[in-house]
């Protein structure tokens, strides 16, 4: 096990952005940068033992800023969308930044993912990133102390431990927005990857990508990934749920008890022979198939074109605070948000 700290780049205001590279005893490596506590790379061997980076990323901060796709970032304070950019806690309405078409709040308004996080090496396989979101940032109540610890084990698991606590009642929904491509972006898009989702239900959305409130069975739909199938097999099916967002961009309800770690998804890529398993204790996962990737220049001078990455964003369901039937994520002042997601290769 080893951790190396190197200079990655600087923020637009000149502050230094560092890259922490954790390497395990199998030669698997995870690189995380302090801007947005972002996964910069995840390098593992293919079937011939050749190492490759399975994360879409950028060579510098300018690349991240220009793209605006949240690539590899930690997302907060509320992952995914809040309808009308508002919610109510204890009868009080809060209005947050409407950074999507001035209609919805997407990914908390964009602060956590673009902030410079503090980092400390806490073990020979672990780096802790922390950020304090001041009361009222993007309209969210509470000074929120957030800690995200990345651990790379010798079982080739990249663990992401989330912790957050606020001094006022608030909503908290944290995720990582990594785009994976098991064949590396040099190998093209991800439509031939096979996906298994441990999810019997999903939450359909309206034309603004806000859940309608329905919890729909995947049975007999293009959303049934309970038996592994290629991501691209049904992506162009004649289903308004797919056509209105140009592919999959939906929350699935993870089977089993939320609060307990369970398998969420397994992805395999026959060509490279690589595999990814995702586990989490959260109630949902957003399958996003990179529908709006539009050729921004990624690492190794390879453009990140449509479907060049897929995301499995473990989360509370989108718009939960406005959907009483969804599992809730309002935390009392002083109450700890704690969660674990594991990406295993
Ligand atoms: C959202 C997409 C969005 C993407 C990048 C996903 O979590 O559901 O609609 O385009 O993030 O922001």
Pocket test for ligand 1, best of 36, 74, 99, 107 (most atoms within 8 A of CB): 107
Among 179, 155, 182, 153, residue whose Cα is nearest residue 274: 182
Compute, in angstroms, the gap from residue 153 CA to the centroid of ligand 1: 29
Rounded-to-integer distance, Cα 25 and Cα 266, Å = 23
- In the prediction, which pLDDT does 191 show? 98
List, for the chain, all residue ranges whose pLDDT scores fall below the cut of 70. Answer: none
Question: Active-site residue among 128, 137, 194, 313?
Answer: 313
Q: Which phi-psi region, left, alpha or beta, contains residue 148 (left: φ > 0; alpha: ψ -120 to 50)? A: beta
Which one-letter DSSP state was computed for residue 270?
Answer: T
Residue 249 CB less than 6 A away from ligand 1: yes
The pLDDT value given to residue 128: 99
Quick one: pLDDT at residue 246?
97
**By percentage, how much of the chain surpasses pLDDT 70?**
100
User: Is the Cβ atom of 88 under 6 angstroms away from ligand 1?
Assistant: no
- Residue nearest (by alpha carbon) to ligand 1 atom 2: 249
Q: Cβ contacts of residue 13 below 8 Å, gap of 6+?
A: none
Q: Is the CB of 175 under 6 A from ligand 1?
A: no
At residue 106, the pLDDT reads 98
Count how many domains the chain has: 1
177 is catalytic: yes
User: Which contiguous run of DSSP H or E holds residue 6?
Assistant: strand 2-10
pTM strictly above 0.95: yes
Residue 63's domain comprises: 2-344
pLDDT of residue 271: 98
Ligand 1 neighbour 333 (Cβ under 6 A): no
Catalytically annotated residue among 64, 111, 128, 177? 177
19: left (phi over 0), alpha (psi -120 to 50) or beta: beta
Q: Is the CB of 99 under 6 A from ligand 1?
A: no
Yes or no: say if 208 and 103 are a contact pair by the CB < 8 Å rule.
Answer: yes
Cα separation, 237 vs 221, whole angstroms: 9
Strand partners, 81: 106
CA of 273 to the centre of ligand 1 (A): 28
Q: Is 277 annotated as catalytic?
A: no
pLDDT at position 47, please? 98
pLDDT score, position 155: 98
The reply to whether ligand 1 has any atom less than 6 angstroms from the CB of 69 is: yes
Q: What is the CATH number of the domain that holds 293?
A: 2.70.98.10
Alpha carbons 337 and 259: distance in angstroms, whole number: 11
Indicate whether residue 292 lines ligand 1 (CB < 6 A): yes
* pLDDT of 81: 98
Establish how many alpha carbons lie within 13 A of residue 168's alpha carbon, considering only the half-sphere containing its beta carbon.
15
Pairing of strands 262-269, 296-297: unpaired
Q: Which atom of ligand 1 is nearest to the CA of 106?
A: 12
The dihedral region occupied by 181, where left means phi > 0, alpha psi between -120 and 50, and beta the remainder, is: beta
Helix, strand, coil % in the chain, rounded to nearest 5: 10, 45, 50
Here the tokens at position 203 are 């939450």
pLDDT in tens, 137-158: 999 999 999 999 999 999 999 9
From CA 232, how far away is CA 322, in angstroms rounded? 32
């Amino acid at each position: 096990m080893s951790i190396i700290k190197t200079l990655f780049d600087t923020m637009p205001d000149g502050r230094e952005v560092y890259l922490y590279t954790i390497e395990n005893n199998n030669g698997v490596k995870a690189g995380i940068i302090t801007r947005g506590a972002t996964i910069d790379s995840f390098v593992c061997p293919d079937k011939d033992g050749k190492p490759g980076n399975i994360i879409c990323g950028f060579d510098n901060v300018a690349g991240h800023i220009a793209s605006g796709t949240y690539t590899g970032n930690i997302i907060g304070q509320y992952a995914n969308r809040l309808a009308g950019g508002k919610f109510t806690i204890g009868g009080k309405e809060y209005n947050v930044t409407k950074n999507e078409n001035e209609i919805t709040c997407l990914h908390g308004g964009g602060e956590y993912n673009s902030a410079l996080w503090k980092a400390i090496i806490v073990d020979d396989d672990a780096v802790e990133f922390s950020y304090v979101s001041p009361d009222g940032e993007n309209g969210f109540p509470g000074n929120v102390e957030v800690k995200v610890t990345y651990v790379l084990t010798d079982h080739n698991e990249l663990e992401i431990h989330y912790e957050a606590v606020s001094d006022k009642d608030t909503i908290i929904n944290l995720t990582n927005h990594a785009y994976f491509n098991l064949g590396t972006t040099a190998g093209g898009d991800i439509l031939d990857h096979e996906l298994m989702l441990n999810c019997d239900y999903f939450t359909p959305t309206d034309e603004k990508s806000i859940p309608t409130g329905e919890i729909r069975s995947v049975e007999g739909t293009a959303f049934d990934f309970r038996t592994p199938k290629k991501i691209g097999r049904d992506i162009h099916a004649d289903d308004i749920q797919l056509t209105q967002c140009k592919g999959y961009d939906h929350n699935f309800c993870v089977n089993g008890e939320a609060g307990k770690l369970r398998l969420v998804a397994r992805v395999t890529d026959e060509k490279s022979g690589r595999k990814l398993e995702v586990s989490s204790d959260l109630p949902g996962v957003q399958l996003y198939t990179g529908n709006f990737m539009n050729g921004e220049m990624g690492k190794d001078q390879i453009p990140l074109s449509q479907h060049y990455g897929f995301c499995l964003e473990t989360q509370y369901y989108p718009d939960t605070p406005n959907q009483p039937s969804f599992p809730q994520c309002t935390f009392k002042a002083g109450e700890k948000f704690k969660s674990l997601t594991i990406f295993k290769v």
